Structure 1
Amino acid sequence: MYVAVKGGERAIDNAHAWLAEERRGDPSVAELSIAQIREQLTLAVNRVMAEGSLYDPDLAALAIKQARGDLIEAVFLIRAYRTTLPRFGASHPVDTAAMACDRRISATFKDLPGGQILGPTFDYTHRLLDFALAAEGLAPDAAPEAEADGTPVPHVTGFLAREDLIQPEPDGPATPRDLTREPLDFPADRPLRLQALTRGDEGFVLSLAYSTQRGYGKNHPFVGELRIGTVPVEMEIPELGFSIELGEVVLTECETVNQFTGSKTEPPQFTRGYGLVFGQTERKAISMALVDRALRWEELGEDNSGAPAQDVEFVLYHADNVQATGFLEHIKLPHYVDFQSELELIRRLRAEAMATTRQEAAE
């Protein structure tokens, strides 16, 4: 039971004022600008855009500032704002093979056609605190200029497909269900599952992915390819009769390659897991690909080991951090009537138990 709170407007106003003061911090310290957050906390901005389902670095940076760095709260703010935006149409599917890659690696093919691009990565850093960063104003060493030649970069899995060594992807629905406009329901096909995973909480999806690698889902793949870069977004304009480019977005795409022993109708070959996320969000994209593959056990005719990552309802119902936060944090709101009924019940049970004990002692 939820009860209305009356007479607390002044306390709530004061709490808001205190929150604003805490958000600002010491006035003698320069205030963070939206541009600073956008440019220097890029990975946090990318996560908020991905889980908020809205590609706008400035708005994501504003949400992070408003939320005092609480990324789940920032995601909540972005999703709430997103619901106020009108929708004028739908863009064409992006062509990730035409991505201008800042980073492109493969754990399966060393001599990758088009070359491996390490890009900006923590992979080869020593994970030691760099105290030079505390010396504000020092400019970093300039990175060498990388020029894209505009040539499409084929996906690694395409090379396996030429030899029929990887399962072809079945055609999905012409118009997939839209999780941002319709509530989640079951059965959930793969396009809907991928939508839920791409906006799911990174930590939760990461934990599920790790569980599959440890045996709870029999899923230990190779990273066929991980790529990060910019792709154009195009939309058909009916009045013009042709498509125009609306802008560009940065995406992280991951395809994993998993062994598949085959079935009565399918020969032994590789299968894939897939992840696609806004911004440079490679941990999330890899995790998403692992969980996507774990959820495909039924369509591939595999056994269900009972692992959490193989339970589509468990995964999708609990991946959404906004829904999880709302249900979790509502218990700190007033539940006075609920607790009073529980309190009376416990008192009555204790009284009955004590009466029984006294009666047994008297006998």
Structure 2
Amino acid sequence: MYVSVKGGERAIENAHDWLAQDRRGDPDVAELGLDQIREQLSLAVHRVMAEGSLYDPDLAALAIKQARGDLIEAIFLIRAYRTTLPRIGHSLPVETGAMACDRRISATFKDAPGGQVLGPTFDYTHRLLDFKLAADGPVPKAQTAPSQPGEMPRITDFLNRDGLIQSEPRSDDTPPDMTRAPMEYPANRALRLQSLTRGDEGFLLGMAYSTQRGYGRNHPFVGELRIGSVPVEMEIPELGFAIEIGEITVTECETVNQFTGSKSEPPQFTRGYGLVFGQTERKAISMALVDRALRWEELGEDNLGAPAQDEEFVLSHADNIQATGFLEHIKLPHYVDFQSELELIRKLRAEVLGDTGTKPHMEAAE
């Protein structure tokens, strides 16, 4: 049980002041601006938006600054702020097929229709410290044209023409909203994908890695990975039609998995899917692998007992805010709990050792 801490208000206020002082750092060093965080630490900003479930680069930058770079704390701040916002409506599903791609690659076809667009990536860089960055030298301009919207056919569409990959039927049903109703098991795929898209990147990376190492029999190809901007549209009742209200950057990944067939499905490729706010490709790929591992039952596969195949295990532990709260609460005062445990251990020791009443020296600390 928890007990109130008396006389600690002044200590807590001092702790807040100390935190603010450490956050600012050396006053002789120029203070970090939100525009610098937003523009130069964009991948951190994108992760905070994705796992905080709120697309706002400026607020994500503010949360990162307030949290001193602790991304999970920043995600917590964004989630808390999100709960204060009114919900005025729902947008229409985004059409990622019309994405203006900054990056689009496929590991399945070299000459992918629409072309391979490497974009800004660490994939081909040497993992060596670049000391030129410490000298604040000029940044070379990329010799590429800006992203252009247009039709860029999906790789899986070509496989689907010959019936080589499992088809994904479209549905106009409104998916459940995990932010409005508690999670229930078993969860349908739409609900699972909601949970995964705001799940912790590190946790999903570990789950995805485990499936590749044999705990889930899941070693796919990246059919397509896209990063770019998509328009967001919303229907306005007074107008009677949808209008574009803005653009967001998203990362989409679709994996292609070998599948030997089952009693209900013929041999074919199957899919895993990931869609995440911002440029977050490691998260999107991990999400696609875990999504595919969780589909074992609907595809008629055997459950190998792998952690990534256990829906309740994955979805119950993917959220870093829930995990952080449960983990860090143990550092709060548990004095009464511990005293009861201490008395119980003393009693058990007395029964086993025949102790005649001698108490350990810890009694003095009480």
TM-score computed with the length of structure 1 as normaliser: 0.96
What is the CA–CA distance in structure 1 between the aligned matches of 2:110 and 2:284, rounded to whole Å? Answer: 21
1:318 paired residue number? 317
Q: Deviations over 1:21-73 (max 9, x none)?
A: 01000101111000000000000000000000000000000000000000000
Could you list the runs of 5+ residues in structure 1 that have no partner in the other structure?
Answer: 358-363
- Asked whether the equivalents of residues 46 and 278 of structure 2 are also in contact (C-alpha less than 8 Å), the reply is yes
Distance in 1 separating the partners of 2:278 and 2:225: 13
Aligned residues of 2:264 and 2:299 also touching (Cα < 8 A)? no
Q: Which residue of 2 aligns with 1:199?
A: 198
Provide the C-alpha distance between the structure 2 equivalents of 1:149 and 1:324, rounded to a whole number of angstroms: 40
Match of 2:292, SS state, is helix
State the match for 1:49 in structure 2.
Answer: 49
CA distance in 1, matches of 2:171, 2:203: 26
Q: 1:112 is matched with which residue?
A: 112
Distance in 2 between residues matched to 1:45 and 1:114, nearest whole Å: 29
Give % identity. Answer: 79
- For residues 283 and 148 of structure 1, what CA distance do their matches in structure 2 show? 21
Query: Structure 1 residue 183: deviation in Å?
Result: 2.1
Residue matched to 2:352: 353
Judge conservation of contact 2:265–2:300 (CA < 8 Å) in 1: no
Q: 2:336 and 2:59 mapped to 1: Cα distance?
A: 40
Amino acid at match of 2:334: H
- 1-side partners of 2:296 and 2:80: how far apart? 35
State how 1:28-43 maps to structure 2 within 5 Å. 28-43=28-43
Q: Distance in 2 between matches of 1:346 and 1:173?
A: 60
Q: 2:360 is matched with which residue?
A: none
Q: Label 1:210 to 1:273 Cα distance change in 2 as closer, same or farther (>3 A).
A: same
Structure 2 residue identity aligned to 1:327: F
- Match runs of 1:149-164 below 5 Å: 149-164=148-163
Alignment of 1:238-257 (within 5 A): 238-257=237-256
**Mapped partners of 2:245, 2:267: distance in 1:** 42
In structure 2, give the amino acid aligned to 1:42.
S
* Per-residue deviation, 1:356: 7.5
Number of equivalenced pairs = 357
Structure 1 residue 148: Cα displacement: 4.1
Q: Is the 8 A contact 1:104 1:118 kept in 2?
A: yes
Is the partner of 1:313 in helix, strand or coil?
A: helix
Amino acid of the structure 1 residue aligned with 2:11: A
Distance in 2 (alpha carbons) for counterparts of 1:77 and 1:55? 13
Indicate whether 1:83 and 2:91 are aligned.
no
What residue identity is the alignment partner of 1:281?
T
- Distance in 2 of aligned mates of 1:274 and 1:114: 20
State the shift of 1:182 in Å: 2.0
2:252–2:274 Cα contact (<8 Å) kept: yes
**What is the distance in 2 between the residues matched to 1:148 and 1:134?**
30
Alpha-carbon distance between aligned partners in 2 of 1:180 and 1:40, rounded to the nearest angstrom: 31
Report 1:1-363 matches (<5 A).
1-136=1-136, 138-172=137-171, 174-355=173-354
Instruction: State the shift of 1:179 in Å.
Output: 1.4
SS at match of 1:246: strand
Q: Matches of 1:183 and 1:139 in 2, distance apart?
A: 51
Question: What is the identity, as a one-letter code, of the residue corresponding to 1:236?
Answer: E
1:169 deviates by 1.2
Q: How big is the shift at 1:146?
A: 1.1
1 CA distance for matches of 2:114 and 2:335?
Answer: 64
Work out whether residues 251 and 278 of structure 2, in 8 Å CA contact, stay in contact via their aligned partners in 1: yes
DSSP 3-state at the match of 1:103: strand
1:264 Cα offset (Å): 2.2
Tell me the SS of whatever aligns to 1:270. strand
Shift in Å, 1:104: 0.3
Opposite residue 117 of structure 2, the aligned amino acid is I
Question: Alpha carbon RMSD of aligned pairs, Å?
Answer: 1.4
SS in 1 for 2:19: helix
> What amino acid maps onto 2:92 in structure 1?
H
Q: Which amino acid aligns with 2:252?
A: E
Post-superposition Cα deviations, 1:237-292, rounded to whole Å, max 9, x if no partner, equal 00001111010000000000001111223211110000000000000000000000
Distance in 1 (alpha carbons) for counterparts of 2:350 and 2:3: 29
Give me the whole-angstrom Cα distance separating, in 1, the residues matched to 2:341 and 2:253.
50
Name the counterpart of 1:361.
Answer: none
1:212–1:220 contact (8 Å) kept in structure 2: yes
On the 8 A contact 1:172/1:191 being kept in 2, the answer is no
AA paired with 1:161?
N
Give, in angstroms, the shift of residue 150 of structure 1. Answer: 3.1
The one-character-per-residue Cα deviations of 1:135-166 (angstroms, maximum 9, x if unpaired) are 02x22111124144532212110111111111
Gaps of 5+ in 2: 357-366
AA aligned opposite 2:25:
G
2 CA distance for matches of 1:173 and 1:92?
11
Distance 1:286 1:141 in 2: 29
Where 2:102 maps in the other structure, the secondary structure is strand
Q: C-alpha separation between the residues in 2 aligned to 1:149 and 1:202?
A: 29
CA separation in 2, counterparts of 1:335 and 1:145? 59
Shift of 1:4: 2.0
Residue type at the aligned position of 1:25: G
Q: In 2, Cα distance between the equivalents of 1:351 and 1:324?
A: 38
Q: C-alpha distance in 1, partners of 2:144/2:206?
A: 37
Secondary structure at the residue paired with 1:131? coil
| Separation in structure 1 between the aligned mates of residue 150 and residue 329 of structure 2, nearest angstrom | 52
